[in-house]
A = this chain, B = another copy of it.
């Protein structure tokens, strides 16, 4: 075999992070996610548009808690790490511009995993022309990936915060709901990715979505341009994330059951796994679907109506009124992802 790309790949997959050392590991990252801004004590970011502001967020992923190489490839973990951070940037109505990645890794980890992780980060960031501008690599027992995303808000319009929802707003969403949770349920049902029937396109699609969810660029800044009142992303579960808006805004969010009901794909997966798809819809996070509220007549591109903002119940009989309801009633499931 004289394929140089092949032999380079073979060599890299045989090498561990410990053998490559810090310099070799950073080289593997920079070759997969090249940036002229990377490589000094800190990264210098270009001048932004006049009258613009910066947005920054960070999210940390722990192996076997937030991802597992049993289910996901390192490339997919890179995609997912960017998606969950960029979703937070989009949920402010902003545009992602730059990424920092700090990795704590066992020295036995194959160097190829780090290279593939960085490739996933580069591929997921490139639709926004965003790039990996810096990072850190240290030794640890467990693999921990910490991503920081920076973004920009151009122009004087306010950021889209959790506290802007008003009674009378329509609740809107852009993206699928419950698909990531269904994908995880399928993986757990069949025990491994390989065991998922390859001829079942719906199951495969849901599994792929769980392992590497993707965002549509422009949905955050589009919502800001369309003057929506509040926005967040479905990271911890629909009820839980909507409750964040409701509590910060002092309102109640009522979802229309018909608008959030499990779609054909979820019904199919429910049949194959024997689970209730409503649990995926109401409590499953990690779709990073944008969920917000608007009082405008025109919806931003790519959004649909899934409910309405109503006043918090003042009925003295109702103790501890729910922040979020479905067709006016307490949701069947209301738990969500527990960080701790």
Residues in chain A within 8 A of chain B (CB atoms):
17-18, 20-22, 25, 39-48, 50-62, 65-66, 87-89, 91-92, 94, 98, 100-105, 107, 133-142, 144, 146, 148-151, 153, 159, 161-162, 231-233, 338-340
Contact = CB atoms under 8 A, between A and B. Distances in A.
B162 A57 contact: no
Nearest to A52: B47
Contacts of A53: 44-47
A50 B51 CA distance: 9
Given A44-B55, A134-B56, A340 B20 contact: yes
Contact of A148 (B17, B46, B148): B148
Nearest to A337: B22
A324 B230 CA distance: 56
B141 A56 contact: no
Contacts of A89: 41-42
A139 B340 CA distance: 5
Contacts of A138: 60-62, 65-66, 339-340
A48 B54 CA distance: 9
Contacts of A135: 58
A151 B65 contact: no
A25 B338 CA distance: 12
A45 B42 CA distance: 18
> Quick one: which of A44, A48, A142 has the most chain B CB within 10 A?
A44
A287 B267 CA distance: 59
A174 to B, nearest CB: 15
Contacts of A50: 50
Nearest to A48: B54
Contacts of A101: 58
> Quick one: which of A47, A105, A139, A339 has the most chain B CB within 10 A?
A339
A98 B339 CA distance: 24
9 contacts: A43-B56, A45-B54, A58-B136, A58-B148, A59-B136, A66-B138, A105-B340, A137-B340, A138-B339
A143 to B, nearest CB: 10
A134 B17 CA distance: 30
Contacts of A140: 62, 65, 142, 144
> Quick one: which of A58, A139, A144 has the most chain B CB within 10 A?
A58
A88 B231 CA distance: 34
Contacts of A102: 58-60, 146, 148
A60 B103 contact: yes
Contacts of A146: 58, 60, 102, 144, 146
A248 B146 CA distance: 27
> Quick one: which of A39, A61, A340 has the most chain B CB within 10 A?
A340
A136 B340 CA distance: 11
A39 to B, nearest CB: 8
